[in-house]
Chain A
C-alpha cells in the first residue's frame, strides 16, 4: 500500500523554538496533503490542506503565521510550528491522498510527530 513517512517522530524543545516537521509520500505523487493535530483521547482535527505549488488552505481558528506549511513538490510537505509554546504540544499527523485524498479515496497517514514544548 501507499507509504507516507513523517519525520521526526518526536520532538522535545524549549518554548520559543521553531520546529519543522516533514511529510513525504514515498511511492506515489501526492498533489494534496493534509495536516492534523490530535490531543490525547481526542479525534484528529484538520489544521490545513496543502496543495503542491500553491498556498495552503487553513481551517478556521488555525493561525497561518503560526503554522507555516510548504508543499514544494509532489512528494514533500512541511509544517513549521513557529515560536512554539507549551500549548502547541500535541500529536501532529500528516496524510496524503493518492488522488487528492477526498472522501472517495482513502487517506494514507504518516506515523505522526509527538511535539512537547517545555
Chain B
C-alpha cells in the first residue's frame, strides 16, 4: 500500500540551528512533492514545490531536496527562529488519483530561544 511517513515525534532544536525534517514514501512515483506549514487551528500554508527532475530547491532560509531513488525528501530550515515553530507537512501528487495531493502526517517543530 502507499505510504507517506513523517516523523510523528516533535523535533526540538535550539534557535540558530538548522532543522531537518524527513519525508519518506513507498509505492508512489510522484512527479511533484510539496511542503506546507500548518500552525495550530489554521489551514496549511504552501512553502515549496519540487519536481522529480530537481534535486534541490531553495527559498530564503528553506531548502528542500528530493531523492527519487531513496524515495525521500528532506526539508531544511537554516538559522531557525522560534517563529518557525509549527507543524510541517509534505504532500505528494498521486499519479494513480488524478495527480491530487496526498499529505503526510506532519512533523511538529519546536525552536527554543
A residues with CB within 8 A of B: 1, 4, 6, 34, 41-44, 46, 49, 91, 93, 95, 101-112, 114
Which of B14-22, B27-35, B53-61, B68-76 contacts its partner? B27-35
Please measure, in the bound complex, the distance between the C-alpha atom of A45 and the C-alpha atom of B46, giving whole angstroms.
17
User: Which residues on the B side are within 8 Å of A41 (C-beta)?
Assistant: 8
Inter-chain CB contacts under 8 Å: number: 67
- Interface of chain B, main secondary structure: strand
3 shortest A-B CB distances, which residue pairs? Answer: A103-B93, A109-B43, A106-B46
Instruction: Give the contacts of B61-94 with A (CB-CB under 8 A).
Output: 89, 92-94
- Once the chains bind, are B43 and A93 in contact (CB under 8 Å)? yes
Tell me whether B41 is interfacial, beta carbon within 8 Å. Answer: yes
- Once the chains bind, are A103 and B101 in contact (CB under 8 Å)? yes
B residues with CB within 8 A of A: 8, 30-32, 34, 36, 41-46, 49, 51, 89, 92-94, 98-106
Please measure, in the bound complex, the distance between the C-alpha atom of A112 and the C-alpha atom of B106, giving whole angstroms.
17
Contact of B100 among A1, A46, A112 (CB under 8 A): A46
- Once the chains bind, are A43 and B106 in contact (CB under 8 Å)? yes
User: Which residues on the B side are within 8 Å of A111 (C-beta)?
Assistant: 41-43
Please measure, in the bound complex, the distance between the C-alpha atom of A43 and the C-alpha atom of B89, giving whole angstroms.
8
